[in-house]
Structure formats: structure tokens, C-alpha cells
Structure 1
Amino acid sequence: MAIARWHRLFGTASILGLAIAAQPAAAQDASGTPASRTGATQATTSTTQETVAGVNGAQDPSQAPSESDANADDIIVTGVRASLASAQSIKRNASQIVDSIVAEDIGKLPDNTVADALQRVTGVQVTRGAGEAGTVLIRGLPNVATVLNGREAFTGVGRGFALQDIPAELIAGVDVYKTSTPDLVEGGVAGLIDVRLRRPFDFAGSQVAASGRAVYSDQSKKWGYIGSGLVSQRWDTGIGEMGLLVAASYNKRLYQDQTAFDFVSSGTPIATPDTVGGLYTSGDRRRTALNASFQWRPNADVEFYADGVFTRYDNKIAVDFFIGLPKAGTLSNVVANTDYPLLAASSTTTNAYTLTSKQAYLNRTDNYQAVVGGKWTLGQAVLNTEVTYNYSKVPNRNAILDTSFNVPRLDVTYDVGGTPQVALTGADLTDPGIFTIRTLFDNNSLDTSEQIAWRNDLTIKPDSPVIQMLKIGTRYTHRNVRSQATASIPIGFPTAAGAPLSSIPGFASLSPGGLVKGALGIDRFVTADTGILLNDTDTIRTLFGQPTGPRAYEPNLAFFNGEDTYAFYGQVGYRFDLGGMVLDGVAGARVVNTVESLNGNGVSSKQNYLNVLPSINARLGLTDTLFLRAAAGKTVTRPEFGQLNPLITLVPSGATGTQQYIGTGSGGNPDLQPIRSTAYDASIEWYVARSTSLTAAGFYRDLSGYIQTYSQPENFGGSYLVNRPRNAGNGYLAGAEVAYQQFFDFLPGALSGLGVQLNGTYMDGKTDDPINGGKQRIVNVSHWAYNAVAIYEKYGVSARLAYNWRSSYVDSYNSGGVQASTILVDPVSRLDFSGSYSPTEWLTLTFDATNILDDVYHDRFKGKNSVTGLFYDSPRDTRTYDRTIQIGARVKF
């Protein structure tokens, strides 16, 4: 009975595993969104990029500059210098406050994905997991609008596109808009990220390029590869000029994340962790991306175009879980923590019931975008119209098998440099004969989302020295979202005694080794075989007395959303000559009506709200190279569709085997309102030379209804601590940024190839604390962050050494359980290297290394608990990530 009780209680540790191991899948949603996710640039001249923006505001997708647009007399620069010069030109001439990344040549962006590249941008931070950058934050906030070539894009039921799904090889550049103009798509309180893909009229003639890289990951000890290709051609025909571009990329990466964890609950008289353990998350991730673009210019005044983008994400994940249960046996020798006497520092358990678990996942995301449009120039007016179709499909499947064994003695030290340490006596964890099959989880889900958008823009350039541009436009969208899933409930073995793991021949497998560099004290251990779990699931279902075949979706878990938006905007581009200085900018407003309907879990609701979003951006040219900017405006971010899901999942009290622990729950919130912000920005920018600049900016965001996920007591026939997204009230985000870049051309000889990029950000953000009153820090906001990049480019050699650092930040508040309510992440840093050598004009050899310093991630439970009122400070996670080396080549003809 004791074994059955403890496994019933702690078998639900696999629910914890679901949350942890599903991180790679979670990275596919839009909050990183991601948790959230446009013309092309050829970095050959400074003139090329100076037309991207300016007083005309954001660039229309059909108006990207091309190589052939450059003047024949321009000075030609190439490589990283050209990239920095082009990005600097975009920033200098934009009407908004914007930072850009420009790929200096096809396939030469030094990072693997858009998300990886964005971590170098001033004011941008990323979260990491599954061997890559995931959620992208602008100034600490995840509420980012994402567009491809100026068109809204999304992944699954999220609002944004998974930027890690876009390979760096396919992009021309990325623009990070920190202030808004009325013609930009609404939806980003934090800002907007515009990923610009290449188009055929970007090139003067034909273009063929290809690249390939082999990637070695040190924790998985396996090789992967990345390959890409691009073909583009322009023709003069009897009916005008035509261009066609096709680009493709394929990426296979074998990665491994490692984690040690420690979850403190309560006890008498000393709080002793309920679980302590570790896990290996091994992934076989494959990404496919296709981009096709057709342009037809019958004459100088008319252009038609069609663009298509397809991305696929496939990830086969195997999680090997070790779960120690210090209370599932005879607990003794509990030693109090000298700094926090209510916490245990160490303990001993005899006859300890212990678990391992194999958690296997098959995750897929398919995203499609198709666009048709046209542009007509009618004297001083330009009319643009286009229709965009988006479709996203996210099927996921997981199979989890828990196994148990008894350990004669389990000794645990709970905090050794931020990591727990475990010692087992009397049990061989590599012996399959000691393991018993206990619990099965057998789940699948399907999210789909479809959108049609129609946009019209009319731009007029009147003959006026003051009014440089008048622009009006409309945009209509219709989106349907559907989510279906099976219930994530444990299926216990039919008999209390369980069954030997040897019940299925070949079912036992051995985990990888070297968990968090040996810090946990646990190395290799037996779990179930991933292949049998995923490919022979019916055998396991039969063993558990379950029907064969996939489980049916639960009707009460399904939800369906419909959303229509109606937007109209108008803006004026202005210019004033003020005694030798020039004041220019854009002012106007965007008005958006949103109509939403929600059906799910017996709940039907509708919302209809109007947002009026005025904005003004101004730039004052003090000299030809020194500018002051100021901007103010209102922005809005709608809730994620998944956040609106009315489903609540409840776990009854006693789930950790302690009397003080109350029931827990999690779910969405159909009553969420949009986040609203009034934004104020100012900057000073000094452009010293073509690729040399010094800039500083200050910003303030007045936030209303900021959405945060936290737990609060609710009654469902009993008291439950329910974790769900909520509008947390009012708040603010304030900060400052500084950035400097330069090539030291004045140095002699080889030293003239040296360059540097430096940027830093300070932020302070708080919102209402709905639990304790007062204010609390905004989740994910680090007070300090900086990038330092050393560059060299000379004699065909190009190299970059980039260091990235951010200070401590809050991961979440009031997590379930009665450990401390706040999860606080230690400072995070990373050092990467990228190098190449071009022996000829058409061939470049490359070498890259990431995570060179092998930095370790730590976070902690810290603060007062909302249930007990006690203060805790105890370790939560220790994580290590792969270091990688990449060797490759690029060719261009």
C-alpha cells in the first residue's frame, strides 16, 4: 500500500516532467514567441539602404531596394563592414527608432537562426533551451509583433512567429522597431520584428548561392548539418521585366540539455524537498524552410508579385528522468540550513522509493504563408494592395513510462553551489532487473490556425516643402484557431505490484552519462526505450489494459477561437527647416476594431473592442551627422489564443504527500483583456563615419493590464492554487540604451582590420502585485544587459568574437507548491566565435564555435510563500547546454 500510495502521489512527478520536457515544444508558441515570431538588402552600398525608411515610414513589402538601384559611382564595400554600414544607414534614415541586422552576403549571417542573431541587438535578450535561442524579448518584454516582409506571421495558436524556425541563410536582414508608426501592423507592446527575406529584384541579374555546415554538439556527442541554396534570375520579356527566386534550407541538429532540480515543499519542523533529481533532454531536431518569390514589372509604374514561405519544424525528444523522493521512505538525519533554519541542508532516507521515467515526444510545426499583390504608381501617388494567407498546424504526441525501484539508502545535500547532490547506497542504477513498470502517460494534441489578411496602402507625395508624404491604408484580417488534446492523466498499472521492466523484450535502455558535469552525483540509469514507446505503443497499451490505437481527443479540452480585425490608419510625413537644422518625422494614428468569439469547455463568449493608437516620431538634424529623436505613441498586444483557453486542470490536495499542501490547478483565462501601453522614447545619434556610430536612447512604457501568469487561490468544490494568466494591473518599464561601433581603419597594416561593437541596456520594470499588494518586478526583465563584440576583417579573413551577458531576472511568481513563491534566475552569459576565410571571390570557408565558456544556468526559489508566509531560499534548476563547433563552406556565382 505504501508503494502504491507514493507512486500514485509521486507518479505525478511525470506531470512535472511534461512541463520541463515540453520546453522545446513550448518554444514553438508565440510568446517567444514565441513562448511568441521583412524587403531585402544587398549590403554593397550605403545608398542601397537609405531608402528603406525615412519620412515615408516603414517600407512596403514591394518597395525593397535592390542591387541595381545603387548608383554606379558609389564606393563599394563588402563583408562585415558592409553589413554594419547598411544596418547603420537603416537606423540613421528611419522615421522610427530601429535597430537592424543585415546579412552582408548570401548565407553569411554568422548565427544559425534569426533568434540567435537577435541576441546581439541593443536592448534584445533571448531565453535558451533545446540547444538554441528561443523566446525573443525586446527590452525585457515578450509582447513582440513578428512580420515576414511586413506581413503578419504566426506559429500555432500564438500571436507571433517562432523566429528560431527561420534559418539565417534565407534572410536579407532583420529590423527591430522599438517605436511605432501607424502603417506598422499593431500587436507589439514591446516592439515589432520584421524579417526581410530575399526577392529576385534585389539582384542586378542572376544569382546562385549555396552553403553547407557540419555541426558537432559536445553533450550529445553527435554531428548534425545545415545546408542551403538560392537561385535567382531576372528576365526582360515582351511584356516587361520578370524575376523568380527560389531558396531552401535544411537543418538537422542533435542536441542535449542537462538539468538537475530540487523542489522544496514543507515539513515539520524543517522543510525537506519532496523531489530531487535530474534529467537528460536529447533532441533530434530537423528544420526545413522554403522561400519562393516572383516579381513582374510590366512597366516602370506597375508591379505585381507573389511570395510563398514554408517552414517545418520536427523534433524527436527523449527525456531520461531520475526522480529521488527523500520523503518516500524513512527520513532521518535532517540537518537544518544555517542561513535558513526552516530549510533542510541535508537528509538521509532508508528504503527510499525512487523513480525513473522515459518521456518521448514527437513535435511538429508546419507554417505556410502565401502572398499576392500589386503596386501602381500614378503620378505622385502609389497604390499598394495585397492579400496574405497564413496557415499553421502543430501536431504533438508524447508517450511517458514511469519505472520505480527501492534504494536501501539515499543521502541528499540540497545546495552545493546551487546544485543538489545525491548519493545512493545499495542499488545499481544500470541493472534493469531492479526496475518495475508503474505508470503510463499517452497523449496527443493538435493546434491549427488559419488567417486571411487584405491590406491596402495609398501613398501621396505632394509638392510641398513641409508635407513630404501622406499615407492612408486599411487592413482586414479573419483568423480561426482550433485546439484539441487528450487528457494528460496518469494510467496506473492494472496491479499494485506493477510489472518487471523485462516484461517487454528489449524495453530497457540506459540514459546518457555525465549529468550536469557530475555535480548531481547521478550518472547513468535505466529507463524505457524511446523507440518502443513511440513505435510500438500498442504493446505498452495492451500491457496496461488499454485499447490499442491513439486516444481520442477530449471534447472538454477543445477550444475554438474566431477573430476579425478592421484597421484604418493615416499618417503624415513632415519636414521643417529650422535655421540650418532639419526637423522631420511621421505623425498619425491607427484605429483597430477587434471582434473575438470563443467556444470551449462549455464556455462561449464574445469580445468587441476598439483601440485608437496615435503616434508621433520626430528627428532633429543638429548637423549632418548628429541627430536627436523623440517619439510617443500608444500600442496594444492582444492575449495569446492559448491564454484565452477556458480549460482548468486540477490536481487535488495531497499530491506531494504533505498535509499542508493545497490542491493546484492550471489553465487559461477567457476574460483576459489586451495589454495597453503608452510609450515615450528619446535618443541621440552620432554617425561619425560609414560604419562608425555612437548612440544613446531612453524609454518609458506606461503599461495597463499587463498579462502575467501566477497562482491564486480559487474554489472548485474545494480550495485550489490555480496558475493561469491574468491582467495584473498597471505598471511601467523604464530604461536606457547605449551603443557604439567602429572599424579602426586608422591603424597601420593588418591592424586596420580590427573593429568593435559594444552595447548595453539598463531597465527597471514593475507591475501591480495582485497577491501581496504594492509592486513587483516584471517577469524576464534584467536590470542590466550588454554585448561586446570584437571584429576582424582583412585579407579575406573575417572573424567575430561575441560576448553576451544579462543580470538576474524573475522567471515566474507564486509557482505551485509551498516552496518560495518567486523563481529568480542567476546572471546568464555566453561567448560565441564566428570566422571565415575567402580564398577566392566565389568560395568562403567557415568555422564557428558557440557557448565557448560552457556557462551553467542556475535559478532559485526565493522569497515569501503566499500559503505559509515563510521565507525560503533554495536551489531549483541547474542546467548545462551543448557547446558546438561548426565547419562549413559557402559558394556564390
Structure 2
Amino acid sequence: MRTIDQASRRARLLAGISVATVALGAVAPASAQDVAPSEDIIVTGVRASLSSAQSIKRNSDVIVDSIVAEDIGKLPDRNVAEALQRITGIQIQRSFGEGSSVSIRGLSQVRTEVNGRDVFTANGGRTLSLEDVPSELLAGVDVYKNPSADQIEGGIGGLINLRTRKPFDFDGFKASASASINYYDLYGKSKPQANLLLSDRWNTGIGEIGVMVDFAYQKTAFRQDQISSQPFYELDQTLGANGTPNDPADYAVASGLGRLGQDTYLPHGVGIGQYLGDRRRLGIDAAIQWKPTETLLFTGEYVRSDYKFQYGDYSFFAYTGDNPITPDYTQRFTFDDDGNFRSGTFANVPIDSNTSLERRKSVTNDFSLNVKWNPTGNLTVNGDLQYIRGTTDGQRSIVILHSNAERLYQVVGSGVPTMDILPDNDPANGNGSVTDVANYAPLGGGYLDHIERSVGKEYAGRLDAEYKFDGGFLRSISAGLRYTDRSAVTDSSTYAYYGTTALADNLYEVHPFRGDLYRGYQGVPDGGVFFSRGVVLDYDATRQALAPYVSDAQRQSLLDGVSYVPSDRNTQGEKTYTAYGLAKFDFEDAGFPLDGNIGLRVIKTKVSTDGFIVQTPQVIVGGQPGNGPISYVGLGVNSNYTKALPSLNLRYHFSDKLQLRLAASKGLTRPDFSQLNPNINIVEFNSGSGLRTASSGNPFLKPLEAKQFDASLEWYFSQTGSLYGAAFYKKVDGFIANITSTETYDFGNGPFNVDVTRPLNGDNGKIKGFEIGGNTFFDFLPGLLSGFGVQANFTYVDSKAPSPDAADNEGNKLTVPLELLSKYSYNLIGFYDKGPLSARVAYNWRSKYVVTTRGNGSGNLPIFNDARGQLDASITYTVTPNFALTLDGVNLTNTENRTYYGIASRPQSNVLNDRRVSLTARLTY
């Protein structure tokens, strides 16, 4: 066993902090703040950000990975989620071409913070939607994979802390501005982007004062093209005891196809989606710092995230839903060896041609005040107050036109699906009817309307103290108290439906598909007839335009717009009371190179939930049963629980470059507020022979708890060079799953049963895996070649968790991994940083994963996402020390995203998104 002398370890720590401070333009991590830096090592660009991220990982008390901005307003990726995908163990989900959410080591239950405080998007959840935040506001992002007791609970997957800058991070006056133009090639549009930071600090008669304002604006566009197949259903060819078919219709289809006695799976149609939209992000970070004495520091900060999202789409479906589909037996059909449909023609398939609008506006305002007091060299006291308010408003409206496909020709397989609609009279001519308004107007259509609004508020306060000892193995003791009072109010209307008759000619438009959709793909119809997209993008104008074409009884309701009924609202309140203690130790003075911390965090949580039971009793009218008047019965539930979360972090130094970390802790994640929603709609009258059904949330849900263990071996062979390997194991208790059970109700006419689906805390799950990675610059190469570098990592995650919803076509239960978890993923990034030139090429890949165990519109089948890789790149030329130009591109390989129903031979959708190319000019003084 090799021991390390104290001077060597201190020198290593100081070198890492020095690089980190220069690269970040910010205060070093908390574990290293109180050590005076040595002479600065000046590095810039990619090399600086890599050095800083490495020093944070190396010197942290816990297992953490970091991303550091290469310059003010310049994270390696424009989108926070996309930047995070470069970190080992993180996988992201994309929404309309952009990263939107992340999972860490297979778990999507991730806590998000800004500067170590709560932050959230008001949407019924608990975390921040990462797509809401302009990345230009951030100095860096830290990902904690096994946190210590002094960190706020809430993420069994991990904790993501977004770090902003402060005025005292800079020596004096600082100004930075950037402007970008972004081009989206599939949509064919360009959008602007800008960032401005101004900061200064002054010595005054009342102490030193610093002020900083950081403003970021982004406007982006997107287009997403999608060609999809409807779910595959097996033809029932079984015979009853008397020898007759159990399903005569399916038996007749199998006979007509010549497939009696053979497994046969038919899709029930196809669809096209073309989504055209834009996003707008506005971010503000304003901070003021006041240091009246050498021992006292006040920091006040306001962070605002203002996000708008909108799209209007053309969706074209030829499908039968759960109803049988009829083959054209005169045409050739092909199947694979397992009986899955590959090609053929169907007759008289209904068409829905939809034009829709979806909007979301989310605003989060975060006010905070922090006081740091050092009454002695050994004692530090921190006080922190926060108020946060978030709102989200959403709209969804869909105008539907009906038609009929006389002949639907369909091909599915490993490539992009083919769908073509042919008229009866001349199958070779094709598509004559699909773009003719006369084939839509007689069948009329409909309009679906939905609105929602969420408001979230939180008051939080905490007090922390740390006392450092001058000698001995016990280096410090920390303790703290925290209180939060959070509320969430959600209004979400049911979808109102209005039937429409034939519209005026000026409300129709013909939208082309063939030659335009999917980058010129030919295997689609010429186009379709739609309600005018120009009108549907104006929510009020849509209702005004449709009013003459709905029934007299519905007209006024349509003009007034959707309104909320009592049961559309649910309210949650949550208070937490927290205390923690943490001891840091180091046995270096005793000749044993081991340090770490041990702690305990105890949290009491009180939850209040309010909603309604919507009761519709059965009445007898004219001797016939029917539905009576609706009543709303208030429902309130209070619950509480107390949890103790121990943690232990150890670090053993084999040498000044090689260290081993061991960590064990217990964590929790509380249920989303939407899962606690108690609202339920119960109807007593049962008009058919089927069971009464209903769905609801569950106000009695308990948090998920995880016991987690980590081991990490890290070798730091230079300031920008390291290799590491880590193994992890998590045992999660109380996975939440939707379970259907029978409940009994009585409205005065006697008891009756209802099959109610609710989220319940279910069985346990296990997640295990390992990570390997490393990075280095090739400084040993001569001249310009020494500017090259590489970063690579690989993650393996295996999970076993309950999935009660997963079933195949025949209703058999399936064993599937955790949703949104790929078993394998890797990043390969090449760098160049020398002189005025800095460049990066990054490839990210992940293996297949389960999107959902039972998808909407999937025939209740699990949906898988196929393996996917994406290439991004950027190059920066520093013209002068104060001026630089950056050219970057995203999705350069034009990656296709593919999903399928259970097995790859049953495709669900093929999706293409934009390639983005951006040019940025950046000034810094």
C-alpha cells in the first residue's frame, strides 16, 4: 500500500482548482472553495472546459460528472439535455428533434436544481423541463450520481444542478454578447438567437458590491415527418366445440387470404404526420452580491425561464382502429415467416384528415437570497431563502375531416412504410380521389377542443453550518435544517367534441405529400384535403370559422370556448421538514490515504390532496334506465410520512493520480402531483354488457425508495487526461404502476362494481451496470497535431422491474426493461484545440429501448424505439482575443428514428427531423 504525503495531495488539489476557476469564470466547487488557489494556468476553449470538468470530478467529495461552458454563453451543445447526453450513464429523450428529458443510469426519476435550489416546470411533475432553459445562461452543469446527506433529496436516478454565474466570479467589469442564425433544413427556415451578459463590481463605503445581468433569447423552428403503421392484430382462426369459428369474420379473412391454419397478423391501417412548429426561449439571470466585511457575503438572484412551444400539423390516417380491416382478395398479399403482414391492398378503409394546433407556454420565476457568514476561520454559516412560482398554459385543438380510401395499398418491413390510396375505377392511375374536396365534404367531420393550466408555488428556507477542525481525522461537521411549502393547482378540461357538416370551400386546403414528405419519398399519396392550417393556428379564429357548421345546440358552446367544470381541477399541497448531519473525515495524517463523509438526512413530508368524485346516478325515465343529473362530491385526503436517508462516501488514494471511490446511500423520489390526482368519474348506468370502468390517480401513493451502491476507479494522468470505470447497483422499492381493481360504489340505488385503474406502489426493481470512459489531448504529438484530443465513454445498464401493463397481441404478459432505458449507450467525441482554432465532432449512440409498455393507439402493445445514433459537430475560430466565430451542426447524419410494436418485424413509425446548421458571432470583454 502506497501512502501520499500531504504536500503532494494539496498541490494536486490546488492545480485542479486553478484550472477550474479560470475555465468557469466562477467559484470552484464547494468541496474546494476554501483553499487559496496557486498561480493560474491559463487555458481556453475546449481544453479549458475539459480541464475544469475533470477537476470538479476529481476533487469532489461525492461521485459527480460535470459539463463546463467553453466560454460565456457557450455550452458544448445548444440544448441542455443534448449537452447532458455526453455524460457517462445519461440517456436522453427527444421531442420534435430536440433533447427534452434525461434518465441517469436507467432511471428517469431525476432531480433538477438551479444553484443547489429547487426548480420546476408547472406541469403536474416535480422537475424542470430541460428544454425550457436557454443554455447560454449556464456556466456549467453537475450530475451527482450518489449524493451525500447535505444535498436535497428527490431523485433516485440522480441530481442535475444547473449553475449560473455571479458578479463576484469575475475580477471586474465583464461584457459578453453573441448572436446566432440557425437554419433548419427540413423546414427550410432560419431563426435568430442572442445572448448578452454584463457584470461589474465596485468597492464602496459600505463594502464591495457586484451586479450581473445575463439575458438569453432563442427562436427555433422544427419540422418532423412521420410515416406510421397501425397496430398488428392476429386473425382468430380457432374453432369452437361444435366446429364453427369463434370469430367468423377473422376466419373468413384468413380463408380469403389462403392462410387457414397459419399465424396471420394484419395491421389496421397507416398514417402520415407532418408537424411544423417553433419554440421561443427567453431567459434572464440577474444577480447582486454585497460583501460588507471579509466575513459576510449576501447574494440575491432572480432567474426567469420563459418558454413557448407551438406546432400545427397535417395528420392523415387510413385506418379502422379496433374494427376489422377488409383485404382486397384480388390483389397479392405477402407475409414473413412468422405471419406478419408485409404487403397487400385493403378495401374501403376510413380516412381521417386532421389539422391541429398544440401550444404550451411555461414561465418559471425564481427569487433567492443567500447569506454566507464566516465568524471564524473554522465556522461557516449559510442561510438561504427562496420563492419560486411557475405557470403553464396549454391548448390542443383538432379539426377532423372524414373520407374513404377505396383501395389502400400498404407495404411494411425494415424500411420506410409505403402507403398509397387508389380509386376503384383505375388502380394504376392512383390518388385521384385523395386530393378531391368532393370526397371529404359529404362525410363532414368534427372538432376536438382542450385547454389546461397549471400553477405551482414554493417557499423554501434552509440554514446550514459547518465547523472545520484544525487537526485529527475528523475534518469537519456539518448540520442543517430545511423547510418547504409547495402547492400545485392543475386545471385540465376534458376534450369537447363538436360534429361538423361540410365546410365552405375557402376553409379547405390541399396539402402535398409525394415529393415533399420525408425528403422526397415517393411511397405516399399525392396529398390530402385538410382544414386550413392558417386558420387552425389561430385558436379563436378556428372556433369562429367552424361555428356555422355545428348543430344549433352546440354553436354557442363552441363560440364561448371550453370552460372548466369542478372535476377538471385538482390541488396538492406539500410541506417538508428536513434535518441532516454530515461528518467529513480524512486519515491522511495517520498515514492512511482514505477520506470521505458519512451523514444522515431525515425528512418528514405532509401531503394534502383535493379533488372531486363525479357521480352520475341511474334514473328511470319512461320505464327505461338512463343517466341522471351529474353531481360533484368534494374529496380531500391528507397523508404524511417520515424517511431517513443515510449516506456514506469513501475515497482511497492509491497515488496522487489514482483513486477509488465507494459510495452507499438511500434515496427517494416522491410521486408526481399528477399521479396524486384523486378525481374520478363514476357512472352508475351500464348500457351494455361490459364492465363499468374508470381511471383516477392515487392520493395515498408513497415515494419510491432506492438503496444504491457505487464503486468508481479513477486515474488522472494529466490536467486534461483521465480514465475511469464505475459499477453501480440500485434496488428500488415501490415502483409505481397502473393497476386495475374492482371498487364498489352506491349512489342510493344499491351497490355496483367499477373496474378502476389507479397508480399503485408495486413490486421492487433492480438496476445494475457499469460505466467506462476517458479523455485526453495528445500533447505528446508534435506541433499542430498536439491540438487533437478524444473523449469516449460507454454505459451498460440492466434492469428488472415490474411491468404489469405489458402484453402481446394475445394478451400474454411480457417481461420488458424499464421504460426509456437502453441497455447499451456510448459517446465518441473528437476535439481539436490549438491556437485560434477549436473544433469538436461528437457521436452519440444508444441501443433499443421501451418507449411505453402500453401505448396510446398501439392496440395496448408495448412500443420499442430502435437503436439510434446522431452526429453533431462544431468549429470555432478566434479572430481576436475578444471576437470568435462558431459554425456548428446538429443531426448531420440525418438520423431516422424508428419505433415498432414489440418485435422489429411489426413497425410502428419512421420519423425524420431537421438538420440544423448555425453560425454564431461572439464578443467578450
Give the TM-score, by structure 1 length. 0.87
1:352 aligned residue = 349
Aligned pair 1:115/2:85, yes or no? no
Aligned pair 1:289/2:283, yes or no? yes
1:410 aligned residue = 408
The 1-side partners of 2:469 and 2:139 are apart by: 32
Residues 737-756 of structure 1 correspond to what in structure 2 (within 5 A)? 737-756=771-790
Contact 1:661 1:817 (C-alpha < 8 Å) held by counterparts: no
The alignment partner of 1:378 has SS state of: coil
Contact 1:514 1:523 (C-alpha < 8 Å) held by counterparts: no
Structure 1 counterpart of 2:91, one-letter code: Q
Q: Deviations over 1:413-463 (max 9, x none)?
A: 243526353343353444444333411011111111100001110111122
Q: Deviations over 1:105-135 (max 9, x none)?
A: 1022231121121011111110111221011
Structure 2 counterpart of 1:516, one-letter code: Y
Structure 2 counterpart of 1:290, one-letter code: I
Aligned pair 1:106/2:36, yes or no? no
Q: Deviations over 1:856-885 (max 9, x none)?
A: 11111117xxxxxxxx95111211111111
The 2-side partners of 1:325 and 1:427 are apart by: 19
2:114 aligned residue = 148
Aligned pair 1:521/2:488, yes or no? no
Unaligned 5+ residue runs, structure 1? Answer: 1-39, 57-62, 864-871
CA shift at 1:765, angstroms? 0.8
Q: Deviations over 1:318-373 (max 9, x none)?
A: 021001125688543384633332x4333423343311001112210011100012
Contact 1:484 1:554 (C-alpha < 8 Å) held by counterparts: no
Instruction: Return closer, same or farther for 1:724/1:688 CA change in 2, 3 Å cut-off.
Output: farther
CA shift at 1:46, angstroms? 7.9
The alignment partner of 1:272 has SS state of: strand
1:322 aligned residue = 316
Instruction: Return closer, same or farther for 1:851/1:817 CA change in 2, 3 Å cut-off.
Output: closer
The 2-side partners of 1:193 and 1:523 are apart by: 47
Aligned pair 1:477/2:484, yes or no? yes
The alignment partner of 1:116 has SS state of: helix
The alignment partner of 1:427 has SS state of: coil
CA shift at 1:521, angstroms? 1.6
The alignment partner of 2:785 has SS state of: helix
The 2-side partners of 1:120 and 1:784 are apart by: 14
Structure 2 counterpart of 1:366, one-letter code: V
Q: Deviations over 1:717-745 (max 9, x none)?
A: 99999776443310110000011100001
Contact 1:359 1:399 (C-alpha < 8 Å) held by counterparts: yes
Structure 2 counterpart of 1:307, one-letter code: E
The 1-side partners of 2:674 and 2:103 are apart by: 19
CA shift at 1:45, angstroms? 4.0
2:397 aligned residue = 399
Aligned pair 1:332/2:328, yes or no? yes
Structure 2 counterpart of 1:752, one-letter code: S
Question: Which of the residues 541, 559, 563 maps onto 2:574?
Answer: 563
Q: How many residues align?
A: 824
Structure 2 counterpart of 1:763, one-letter code: V
The 2-side partners of 1:121 and 1:460 are apart by: 34
The alignment partner of 2:820 has SS state of: coil
1:75 aligned residue = 41
The alignment partner of 1:449 has SS state of: strand
The alignment partner of 1:541 has SS state of: helix
Instruction: Return closer, same or farther for 1:773/1:881 CA change in 2, 3 Å cut-off.
Output: closer
Instruction: Return closer, same or farther for 1:271/1:816 CA change in 2, 3 Å cut-off.
Output: farther
1:389 aligned residue = 387
CA shift at 1:637, angstroms? 0.1
Instruction: Return closer, same or farther for 1:789/1:501 CA change in 2, 3 Å cut-off.
Output: farther
The alignment partner of 1:814 has SS state of: coil
The 2-side partners of 1:274 and 1:109 are apart by: 46
Aligned pair 1:208/2:175, yes or no? yes
Instruction: Return closer, same or farther for 1:429/1:223 CA change in 2, 3 Å cut-off.
Output: farther
Structure 2 counterpart of 1:280, one-letter code: Q
Instruction: Return closer, same or farther for 1:317/1:49 CA change in 2, 3 Å cut-off.
Output: closer
Unaligned 5+ residue runs, structure 2? Answer: 1-16, 236-249, 252-263, 423-429, 614-634, 746-751, 806-811
Aligned pair 1:539/2:545, yes or no? yes
2:871 aligned residue = 831
The 2-side partners of 1:113 and 1:566 are apart by: 34
Aligned pair 1:199/2:166, yes or no? yes
The alignment partner of 1:246 has SS state of: strand
Structure 1 counterpart of 2:873, one-letter code: F
1:840 aligned residue = 880
CA shift at 1:642, angstroms? 1.1
Contact 1:799 1:835 (C-alpha < 8 Å) held by counterparts: yes
1:434 aligned residue = 439
Instruction: Return closer, same or farther for 1:452/1:542 CA change in 2, 3 Å cut-off.
Output: farther
The 2-side partners of 1:131 and 1:291 are apart by: 27
Q: Deviations over 1:239-288 (max 9, x none)?
A: 00000000111111110112222222544145432341110111121111
The 2-side partners of 1:661 and 1:807 are apart by: 41
CA shift at 1:782, angstroms? 1.1
The 2-side partners of 1:589 and 1:407 are apart by: 66
Structure 2 counterpart of 1:546, one-letter code: R
The 1-side partners of 2:418 and 2:731 are apart by: 41
Instruction: Return closer, same or farther for 1:293/1:165 CA change in 2, 3 Å cut-off.
Output: same
Structure 2 counterpart of 1:350, one-letter code: A
Structure 2 counterpart of 1:315, one-letter code: F
Contact 1:647 1:667 (C-alpha < 8 Å) held by counterparts: yes
1:675 aligned residue = 704
The alignment partner of 2:106 has SS state of: coil
Contact 2:269 2:317 (C-alpha < 8 Å) held by counterparts: yes
Instruction: Return closer, same or farther for 1:721/1:522 CA change in 2, 3 Å cut-off.
Output: farther
Instruction: Return closer, same or farther for 1:793/1:716 CA change in 2, 3 Å cut-off.
Output: farther
Question: Which of the residues 294, 297, 309 maps onto 1:303?
Answer: 297
Instruction: Return closer, same or farther for 1:274/1:329 CA change in 2, 3 Å cut-off.
Output: closer
The alignment partner of 2:67 has SS state of: strand
The 2-side partners of 1:320 and 1:328 are apart by: 25
1:4 aligned residue = none
1:33 aligned residue = none
2:622 aligned residue = none
RMSD: 3.0
The 2-side partners of 1:113 and 1:443 are apart by: 29
The 1-side partners of 2:851 and 2:815 are apart by: 16
Instruction: Return closer, same or farther for 1:681/1:416 CA change in 2, 3 Å cut-off.
Output: closer
Instruction: Return closer, same or farther for 1:467/1:242 CA change in 2, 3 Å cut-off.
Output: same
Aligned pair 1:616/2:648, yes or no? yes
Instruction: Return closer, same or farther for 1:490/1:723 CA change in 2, 3 Å cut-off.
Output: farther
The alignment partner of 1:350 has SS state of: strand
The alignment partner of 1:540 has SS state of: helix
Instruction: Return closer, same or farther for 1:816/1:239 CA change in 2, 3 Å cut-off.
Output: closer
Q: Deviations over 1:686-720 (max 9, x none)?
A: 00000100011000001101224x57576799999
The alignment partner of 1:178 has SS state of: strand
The 1-side partners of 2:319 and 2:683 are apart by: 19
Contact 1:819 1:861 (C-alpha < 8 Å) held by counterparts: no
2:471 aligned residue = 464
The 2-side partners of 1:650 and 1:345 are apart by: 43
The alignment partner of 1:284 has SS state of: strand
Instruction: Return closer, same or farther for 1:724/1:417 CA change in 2, 3 Å cut-off.
Output: farther
Larger Rg over CA atoms: 2
CA shift at 1:888, angstroms? 1.4
The 1-side partners of 2:565 and 2:24 are apart by: 58
CA shift at 1:610, angstroms? 0.6
CA shift at 1:650, angstroms? 10
Aligned pair 1:139/2:139, yes or no? no
Instruction: Return closer, same or farther for 1:428/1:236 CA change in 2, 3 Å cut-off.
Output: farther
The alignment partner of 1:415 has SS state of: coil
Aligned pair 1:52/2:29, yes or no? yes
Identity, in percent, stands at: 34
2:631 aligned residue = none
2:667 aligned residue = 635
Aligned pair 1:766/2:770, yes or no? no
Instruction: Return closer, same or farther for 1:47/1:777 CA change in 2, 3 Å cut-off.
Output: closer
The 1-side partners of 2:220 and 2:695 are apart by: 33
Aligned pair 1:701/2:730, yes or no? yes
Contact 1:515 1:522 (C-alpha < 8 Å) held by counterparts: no
Residues 225-244 of structure 1 correspond to what in structure 2 (within 5 A)? 225-244=192-211
The 2-side partners of 1:289 and 1:169 are apart by: 9
